Amino acid sequence: RGGGGAMLAAPLLLLLLLVAAGPGRARRDALREELLLSPLPTGDVAATFQFRTRWDADLQRGAVSHYRLFPKALGRLVAALGVRELHLALTQGFWRTRTWGQPPLQAPAGAELWVWFQPTVTDVDKAWKELSNILSGIFCASLNFIDSTNTVTPTASFKPLGLANGTDHHLLRYAVLPREVVCTENLTPWKKLLPCGSKAGLAVLLKAERLFHSSYHSQAVHIRPVCRDDSCLAVSWELRQTLTVVFDTFASGQGKKDWSLFKMFSRTLTDACPLASQSKVYVDISPKNKEKELLEVTPPPASVHEAVVQGDKKTYAVYDLLSPSLFNTSRSLNVQLKWMRPQDSSELPTPILHAQRYVSGYGLHTGEISTLIYNTHPYRAFPVILLETVPWYLRLYVHTLTIITKGKENKPSYIHYQPAQDRRRPHLLEMLIQLPANSVTKITIQFERALLKWTEYTPDPNHGFYVSSSVLSALVPSVIAMKDVDVEQSPLFTSLFPSSDGSSYFVRLYTEPLLVNLPTPDFSMPYNVICLTCTVVAVCYGSFYNLLTRTFHVEEPSRGGLAKRLANIIRKFRGVPPL
Amino acid sequence: VCTSRFWFNYRHVANTLSVYRSVKRLGIPDSHIVLMLADDMACNPRNPKPATVFSHKNMELNVYGDDVEVDYRSYEVTVENFLRVLTGRIPPSTPRSKRLLSDDRSNILIYMTGSHGGNGFLKFQDSEEITNVELADAFEQMWQKRRYNELLFIIDTCQGASMYERFYSPNIMALASSQVGEDSLSHQPDLGIGVHLMDRYTFYMLEFLEEIHPASQTNMNDLFQVCPKSLCVSTPGHRTDLFQRDPQNVLITDFFGSVRKVEITTETISLNRYSAGFESKLPKDELATEPLKYAEQLPVAQIIHQKPKQKDWHPPGGFILGLWALIIMVFFKTYGIKHMKHVF
């Protein structure tokens, strides 16, 4: 009788649960995809893809076992290793800030990984090593080469980009592998993390043969906790996958600057990803120097969006792939841009902040690293944090560090230097420098090259050794005041960095990596030494041994055989001495 | 495994990728393949067509493709890593895709190619070598740990037959592209790319494998005939004495393909709909009492006034201690102990 009662109660309970949940409850995860096409001042085209999955669940607590849009590989990684923020970028090429302008999100050449751990993690170094190994398996990259010789703990840069409850820099780790190659085998697992894969939506444009035939290719994964809504009382996890590629339209377009989606990617868009709640294409049609009618975009956009991005007012043509009117006329969307008249390329707008780094000196003993930072703002000064990581085999002389601005010495407001330990830790130099308006700041430091043990050289040592890019973080004052953006309503490329106030925007720049030749030994010397030593030992020891132990005794000459006797008889007749 | 580095060894990467491609085409998934490439040819700055690796001149066949997963790249291809993958003695934090997770019912195919092979050794990345004795011992370790059921070893390099001379574990069949004293030659250069694209043995082996489909019945004897001396210039060799079955009865797809057992069921299985009621079973998220905020990206004032990290105090050791001991000794020697009260 009790069993019967329970049988009746169970469906009632289920019904109650269903009713309590309510109809039409919002799903807990959402995907937004976006493509931003911006023509650069030199005529190249930059295409930035962003795929953002927001998941209203707390990955840290509770057993989360049902993954829908958020990839399981990354979700379990975050939960198991106590990761608060993860940023991994694989880049091929270099973003030329001086000619192309400020990048939306730049990454240094090679592989860059920086992670903030939760305060509950006790052994951060162990978690860091495990994390880099797991990520090397997921992304087919040699991230397992990240160890204490190329990991640093910055003290002022790389503040968390997500929600943070205090910033104890002991929980931060940063590493760069400048020698890492990016190719299709890194793109394939990146594409497999997307909910729609590369089969629908904007990701159909991602074909490796076109993406790697470019001047700059950068793919990144960013995981961070964000506010769930305006009141910001609950935490959601956000996964952003970004891919930036810069095509050289002159080289591939027979000398004309016109481009189209088909010419760049050899594909066109046919539909949006069915799992996405938003899927848009933005084309930057900002007029330069207040001249309209300079360019023409086909098909004509349904709407136009204006925003203040990086201190400049910009206009974007918007194509919404989810709106049914877009595919009325043709089944596929091929955005084309034509320049009406040739643009005079005599004046390229220079960005407010850009930097350059090079190594000078001669010979294989000493050298000098110089960094030039330009502030082209006419009247505003602002501070910049410079983070330099130099491998231990380039021994820096900190007493030769000089910072010169406009001919005078410039003392940094904050300086943190951690010297290297041979084979254990690299150099870390962090400085907060004030850049006066309209100035060039030159930072130089001298170094000496060390001789490595012969097993520590790579199989191709004559290629040289890389010094990873330095990082410049700055709050650049903007020309136009920026309003606070609502993350959910505004395009994704405006909400990369959390905005602090409207008067300045945060930018992170990377300089060039450096290639330095170390004194390389002759690798055939061990073989030569072994041969020579063995020969000498054999000759000397052999001779001594023979001298000491060889005895001589007289040997009776033998009578010889029949032939010899006959020959002797003939010789006796001839008068010749016998044999 | 491709063991050679530098752009002019393009053909070894093309060799390895063409075998990878055949093996994937015949059904073996990426999780069952460990691919080791010692250098990157597809995205090499000298490659006129990035993200492609061709095996035929006139660029007919792109063996790199769109769906490739390389497990060991560039500097990771070392003799130590190769032997660790074979024997399973791998550091615990190695991801699954870099391990050889085989058991005693697995058939393993090992294909090695490199530019510098010699009598009894194969050079890895032009800086270290693996000897045939090491390889034979590694296979014996695999046998004793029951890591394979049958093993097919193919090597395409100069004097390749010397590499399988020393095997002594059962159930191993070996093929090589050339005998001891002979060089393995490359097939054809491509004038657009500028280097030789494939080695002869692998080129004809790829042609042979392109005709195999997952259900074909070709056996090992056909693989032994794949490149006669007239086409290959070197004499390919093989070794079957350690193998228990007759090569006539061994199918190519035993090693190159993968057969999955599929059971077809006729009864229907009903899946529960993902209902919204499921959500309420999850623990309710804790709501913070006050709003959380993002960190300031460049808090200048906070950075300037950051206190330097207090270094832990260590007692002075070594040189400083010795120096002070010397000073104190000299002081007492000159002035005597009775003057100590003047010091304190």
Residues of chain A with C-beta less than 8 angstroms from the C-beta of B283: 61-62
- Quick: pLDDT tens for B8-32: 999 999 999 999 999 999 989 999 9
Neighbour-count burial for A394-428, b at 16+ CB within 10 Å, e otherwise: bbbeeeebebebeeeebebbbbbebebeeeebbbb
Contact call for B285 and A58, based on CB within 8 A:
yes
From CA B221, how far away is CA A558, in angstroms rounded?
A: 63
Interaxial angle between packed helices A124-139 and A72-81, expressed in degrees from 0 to 180 and rounded to the nearest 10? 170
Q: Kindly tell me the sign of the dihedral angle through the C-alpha atoms of B299, B303, B307, B312.
A: positive
Is residue B116 flagged as an active site residue?
Answer: yes
Looking at the structure, do residues A174 and A274 belong to the same domain, yes or no? yes
Neighbour-count burial for A458-473, b at 16+ CB within 10 Å, e otherwise: bbebeeebbbbbbbbb
Mean pLDDT taken over chain B: 86
Within a domain: residue A1? Answer: no
- Please, which pLDDT band fits residue B111 given cuts at 50, 70 and 90? very high
Q: What is the mean pLDDT of residues B224-228?
A: 88
Across the interface, which of B52, B68, B287 has its CB nearest the CB of A233? B287
A 230-249: CB under 8 A from B = 231-235
Within a domain: residue B247? Answer: yes
CB-count burial class (<10 Å; 0-12, 13-18, 19+) for A286: middle
Q: Write the CATH number for B219.
A: 3.40.50.1460
Q: Does B97 touch chain A (CB under 8 A)?
A: yes
Q: What is the ipTM of this complex?
A: 0.84
CB-count burial class (<10 Å; 0-12, 13-18, 19+) for A222: buried
Domain span including residue A64: 30-339
CB-count burial class (<10 Å; 0-12, 13-18, 19+) for B273: exposed
Q: What is the mean pLDDT of residues B266-274?
A: 82
Looking at the structure, do residues A34 and A163 belong to the same domain, yes or no? yes
Q: Kindly tell me the sign of the dihedral angle through the C-alpha atoms of A509, A232, A166, A435.
A: positive
DSSP assignment letter at A311: T
Name A293's Cβ contacts closer than 8 Å, sequence gap at least 6. A340
Measured in degrees and rounded to the nearest 5, phi and psi for residue A549 equal -110, -5
Task: Give me the pLDDT at residue A228, please.
Answer: 83
Residues of chain B with C-beta less than 8 angstroms from the C-beta of A161: 294-295, 297
Residue positions counted in chain A: 579
Residue A182, Ramachandran bin (φ over 0: left; ψ between -120 and 50: alpha; else beta): beta
From CA B73, how far away is CA A186, in angstroms rounded?
A: 11
Looking at the structure, do residues A407 and A335 belong to the same domain, yes or no? no
Across the interface, which of A62, A179, A208 has its CB nearest the CB of B66? A208
The residue of chain A nearest to residue B281, with distances taken between CA atoms, is A17
pLDDT by residue for chain A (579 residues), tens only, comes to 444 444 554 444 444 444 444 333 446 889 999 999 998 888 889 999 999 999 888 777 656 778 889 999 999 899 899 999 999 999 999 999 998 988 888 999 999 999 999 999 999 999 999 999 999 999 999 999 999 999 999 998 999 988 888 788 899 999 999 999 999 999 999 999 999 888 888 999 999 988 998 999 999 999 999 888 878 888 889 999 999 999 987 776 666 778 888 888 988 888 888 999 999 999 988 876 655 557 788 888 888 888 888 878 888 999 998 888 887 777 788 888 887 766 665 567 888 999 999 999 999 999 999 999 999 999 999 999 999 999 999 999 999 999 999 999 999 999 999 999 999 999 999 999 999 999 999 999 999 999 999 888 998 898 999 999 999 999 988 877 777 667 777 888 888 887 767 788 889 999 999 999 999 888 888 889 999 999 999 999 999 999 999 888 888 877 678 888 888 888 888 888 877
Q: Write the CATH number for A365.
A: 2.60.40.740
Q: Does B231 touch chain A (CB under 8 A)?
A: no
Name A57's Cβ contacts closer than 8 Å, sequence gap at least 6. A28, A29, A64, A236, A237, B282, B285
Across the interface, which of A183, A233, A475 has its CB nearest the CB of B291? A233
Measured in degrees and rounded to the nearest 5, phi and psi for residue A51 equal -125, 115
Q: What SS3 state is found at A223?
A: strand
Q: Does B92 touch chain A (CB under 8 A)?
A: no
Beta bridge partners of A432: A385, A414
Angle at A92 between CA A87 and CA A95, to 5 degrees: 85
Total number of domains constituting chain B = 1
- CB of A427 closer than 8 Å to CB of A388: yes
CA distance B118 to chain A (A): 17
Total number of domains constituting chain A = 2
Contact call for B295 and A25, based on CB within 8 A:
no
- Map tokens 């509950």 to a residue: A120
B 49-78: CB under 8 A from A = 49-52, 64-71, 73-76
CA distance A218 to chain B (A): 14
Across the interface, which of B52, B71, B283 has its CB nearest the CB of A140? B71
Contact call for A459 and B5, based on CB within 8 A:
yes
Between β-strands A408-409 and A514-516, what pairing exists: parallel, antiparallel or unpaired?
A: unpaired
Q: What share of chain A is helix, strand, coil (3-state, %, to 5)?
A: 25, 35, 45
Where a domain ends, among A278, A309, A339? A339
The residue of chain B nearest to residue A182, with distances taken between CA atoms, is B43
User: H or E segment at A354?
Assistant: strand A353-360
CB-count burial class (<10 Å; 0-12, 13-18, 19+) for B75: middle
Q: Does B292 touch chain A (CB under 8 A)?
A: yes
Looking at the structure, do residues A457 and A357 belong to the same domain, yes or no? yes
- Please, which pLDDT band fits residue B261 given cuts at 50, 70 and 90? confident
Task: Give me the pLDDT at residue B339, please.
Answer: 65
Of the candidates A557, A559, A558, A578, the residue with the CA atom closest to the CA atom of residue A568: A578
Within a domain: residue B330? Answer: no
Name B296's Cβ contacts closer than 8 Å, sequence gap at least 6. A159, A500, B302
Within a domain: residue A468? Answer: yes
Q: Does B200 touch chain A (CB under 8 A)?
A: no
User: H or E segment at A399?
Assistant: strand A394-405
Task: Give me the pLDDT at residue A252, please.
Answer: 67
Contact call for A58 and B294, based on CB within 8 A:
no
Is residue B227 flagged as an active site residue?
Answer: no
Interaxial angle between packed helices B132-144 and B79-87, expressed in degrees from 0 to 180 and rounded to the nearest 10? 20
Within a domain: residue A395? Answer: yes
Angle at A101 between CA A486 and CA B47, to 5 degrees: 115
CA distances from A353 to A171, A376, B270 (A): 30, 7, 62
- CB of B155 closer than 8 Å to CB of B259: no
Looking at the structure, do residues A175 and A270 belong to the same domain, yes or no? yes
Within a domain: residue A368? Answer: yes
The residue of chain A nearest to residue B91, with distances taken between CA atoms, is A133
Q: What SS3 state is found at B208?
A: helix
Contact call for A136 and B96, based on CB within 8 A:
no
Q: Does B7 touch chain A (CB under 8 A)?
A: no
Contact call for B76 and A181, based on CB within 8 A:
no
Across the interface, which of A62, A159, A208 has its CB nearest the CB of B296? A159
Looking at the structure, do residues A321 and A399 belong to the same domain, yes or no? no
Residues of chain A with C-beta less than 8 angstroms from the C-beta of B126: 459
Within a domain: residue A107? Answer: yes
Distance of CA B260 to the CA centre of its chain: 25
Within a domain: residue A186? Answer: yes
Residues of chain B with C-beta less than 8 angstroms from the C-beta of A506: 297-298
Across the interface, which of B64, B276, B306 has its CB nearest the CB of A155? B306
Between β-strands A514-516 and A303-309, what pairing exists: parallel, antiparallel or unpaired?
A: unpaired
From CA A85, how far away is CA A83, in angstroms rounded?
A: 6
CA distance A166 to chain B (A): 8
Within a domain: residue B342? Answer: no
Q: Does A80 touch chain B (CB under 8 A)?
A: no
Across the interface, which of B49, B277, B303 has its CB nearest the CB of A17? B277
Of the candidates B33, B14, B128, the residue with the CA atom closest to the CA atom of residue B71: B33
Q: Which amino acid is at A267?
A: R
User: Which of B2, B12, B56, B158 does the annotation list as catalytic?
Assistant: B158
Cis peptide before A299 (omega within 30 of 0): yes
CA distance B189 to chain A (A): 22
Contact call for B280 and A17, based on CB within 8 A:
yes
Looking at the structure, do residues A327 and A393 belong to the same domain, yes or no? no
Within a domain: residue B67? Answer: yes
Residues of chain A with C-beta less than 8 angstroms from the C-beta of B304: 413-414, 432
Name B215's Cβ contacts closer than 8 Å, sequence gap at least 6. B253
- Please, which pLDDT band fits residue B233 given cuts at 50, 70 and 90? confident
Domain span including residue B208: 7-256
Task: Give me the pLDDT at residue A20, please.
Answer: 41
Within a domain: residue B187? Answer: yes
- CB of B304 closer than 8 Å to CB of A172: no
Of the candidates B36, B34, B111, the residue with the CA atom closest to the CA atom of residue B72: B36
Task: Give me the pLDDT at residue B286, please.
Answer: 63
Within a domain: residue B335? Answer: no
Q: Does A59 touch chain B (CB under 8 A)?
A: no
Q: What SS3 state is found at A406?
A: coil
Name B266's Cβ contacts closer than 8 Å, sequence gap at least 6. none
Q: Does A520 touch chain B (CB under 8 A)?
A: no
Task: Give me the pLDDT at residue A346, please.
Answer: 57
Residues of chain B with C-beta less than 8 angstroms from the C-beta of A93: none
- Quick: pLDDT tens for B24-57: 999 899 999 999 999 989 999 899 889 999 887 7
- Map tokens 């640093």 to a residue: A152
Neighbour-count burial for A240-276, b at 16+ CB within 10 Å, e otherwise: bbbbbbbbebeeebeeebebbbebbbeebbebbbebb
Task: Give me the pLDDT at residue A95, please.
Answer: 93
Name B314's Cβ contacts closer than 8 Å, sequence gap at least 6. none
C-beta neighbour count of B261 within 10 angstroms: 4
- Map tokens 């790829």 to a residue: B206
Within a domain: residue A194? Answer: yes
- Map tokens 């001991």 to a residue: B325
